[in-house]
Structure formats: structure tokens, C-alpha cells
Amino acid sequence: MKFMLELRDLCFSVPGDGKRIDILNHIDLTVPDGKLVVITGPNGSGKSTLARVIMGIEPATSGEIWLDGERIDGLNVTERARRGISYGFQQPPRFKGMKVSDLLECAAGKQISREDACHYLAQVGLCSQEYIDRDVDASLSGGELKRIEIATILARNAELMIFDEPEAGIDLWSFGRLTETFQQIHRRGTASMIIISHQERIIRLADEVVLISGGRVTGHGPASELLEQIESAGQSGGCADCL
């Protein structure tokens, strides 16, 4: 099986009170090509940090990151984006004065037709004629902004898509539409996906689930098996907020 992403003995620490504080501890992880992997675990366990380290927003303290057989931990975030990695923020940025159509074109890295821009919006459940000329500003709700961000990732045609808690700050209807979008992307099989999430509905979409606690991988396997472990940990007080 081809592995799109491989993390080897990955560590990340920060300075604090005269010593280093370990956030990620010797993470070994593989993401097979074309698979959807959900990373879950308690708040503060290092999930979002791991996503930022993979993207290059934070530099790893030690260890290796390999993408399609190429070591990339020495590359910055821009260089990793050029190699096909995209990142969806927990709280997507707003751009006052920039229209949705312009943002999609920036994401694509080239001029795109209005028809193509509308197609990307339609894929995330937005009425293209209503949103194509909207500004990416405070007039958009959290759910609208989140779906526009996913549309930019589709326009980017990324090979590895990383989403950090995409359910954060959105309404129930938008959440349902997001899960449908993730299913559609996954069914196409053109990209590998990593989703950081606590939500059982998203966890059940996964080919593989990775459980992180205390900066370490404490479980890795099919959703059906890991959900039992997560629920058991929650009942014992070890991972009460995973779901």
C-alpha cells in the first residue's frame, strides 16, 4: 500500500519555566494514499499542534515528515502547499474587501472561469449566484465561511487535505452539509484527508481513526474499534470530551 504521508518519531516541544514542555511525543503515523483519517482525543492532547506541524505552521522539534517518498520537514508552509498539502483552519480568516470569487482564484493559483468558481461553491452546498460576489468579511456566518474555505481547498486541488475541527462554530445544518462534502471528496478518491475532530458523526466517516492523548498515539485502527475504546475511556474519565 502506498503511503502519502509518513510521520517518523515526530516531536514538538516549547520552552517553559526553565525546561522544555513536550506537546508531541515520538509520533509515528502513516496516512495511506486516498484514505480519510480522523485524529481525535481529549482537549489539549496535541491534535491541533500535530496538524500545524504537518502543514509547517509550527516546526517539528525532531523527527521526520515524508510526503510521497520525499522528506519535507525542512520545508516551510508555502513550499509544502506547493507540494499539494492544504489546511483548513478551526477559525477561517476573513478578508475584508476580497470577494469570494477572488479568494477561489487565489487558492487555485490561476485564473478560473466564473463557471468553475460556481462549481466549487456548489460542491459545498452554497448557492453560487448568492455567494460568488460576496465579500469574505464579517457578513458571513461561521458555517458559510467554513464552507467557502473548503471550496478554496477544492479549487486548490490538494492531494492532502487537513481540516482542524471543521465543526467548530457552525450550526447543525451546516455541520450536516460538511459531513456530506467530506464523504463526496472521499468517494472521489483524488485526495488523502486528515480531519481533527471530536464528533462521532465525522469519526464514523473515517477509514482509520487515530487516538491521541498526552501528545502520544494511544490508539490506531478502524472507527468501529476505536469508538469502543474512546467511549470506554470517557466512562472511566480518561477521555470524556472526545465525542
Q: Which of 149, 166, 167 is nearest to 158 (CA)?
A: 149
Average pLDDT over residues 65-75: 95
Beta strands (DSSP E) in 89-155 are 95-99, 135-136
Average pLDDT over residues 106-131: 86
Residue 44 contacts residue 37 (beta carbons within 8 Å):
no
- How far is residue 183's CA from residue 231's CA, in Å, rounded to a whole number? 24
Which range, 29-38, 119-128, 174-183, has the best average confidence (pLDDT)?
29-38
pLDDT tops 50 at residue 68: yes
Q: What is the DSSP letter of 41?
A: -
Q: Which of 117, 88, 94, 97 is nearest to 105 (CA)?
A: 117
pLDDT tops 50 at residue 237: no
Average pLDDT over residues 163-187: 83
pLDDT tops 60 at residue 240: no
Burial class, 61, CB count within 10 angstroms (exposed 0-12 / middle 13-18 / buried 19+): middle
Residue 168 contacts residue 90 (beta carbons within 8 Å):
yes
Instruction: Tell me what pLDDT residue 2 has.
Output: 59
CB proximity list for 50: less than 8 A, separation 6 or greater:
10, 12, 24, 27, 39, 196, 212
